Amino acid sequence: MNETHLFTIRQKENEPLRDYMQRLVEAVHEVPHVNHELLARIIQQNLLPERFKESIAEKPPSTIEDLFMLSQKYIRIGESNALDHSLSGKRDGRV
């Protein structure tokens, strides 16, 4: 497998960022020597519009490790927001 395959891994509609990043990481492990700048561009191109995508565009991470650490930050934020939304729905009787 080569780097061009990574361009085919797109975030699906309603797919959580965690699931998309997991699929991408699995593919990255199959490609030797992935350039972090290329990976940042691939992620930016293949993500659905959201804050993580904007963050990468504003300040591209300098390493793959920084890129994945940043993704973890946005995963936690998204999951926290989803939990807050779920809990507020239960309090309001909208389960």
Give me the domains of the chain, ranges plus CATH numbers.
Answer: 3-91 (1.10.1200)
The model's confidence at residue 93, banded by pLDDT at 50, 70 and 90, is low
Mean pLDDT of 20-25: 94
Task: Say if residue 24's pLDDT is above 60.
Answer: yes
For residue 10, the model assigns a pLDDT of: 96
Which amino acid, 80?
S
- pLDDT tens track for 59-69: 989 888 999 99
What's the N-to-C CA distance of the chain in angstroms? 44
How many angstroms separate the CA atoms of 95 and 88, rounded? Answer: 9
Mean pLDDT of 50-58: 91
Contact status, residue 61 vs residue 49, Cβ threshold 8 Å: no
Contact status, residue 67 vs residue 43, Cβ threshold 8 Å: yes
For residue 69, the model assigns a pLDDT of: 94
Who wins on pLDDT, 85 or 29?
29
For residue 43, the model assigns a pLDDT of: 92
Pick from 44, 34, 85: nearest CA to 64:
34
How many angstroms separate the CA atoms of 63 and 87, rounded? Answer: 36
- pTM for the model stands at 0.79
Q: Six-digit token pair at 60?
A: 């591209």
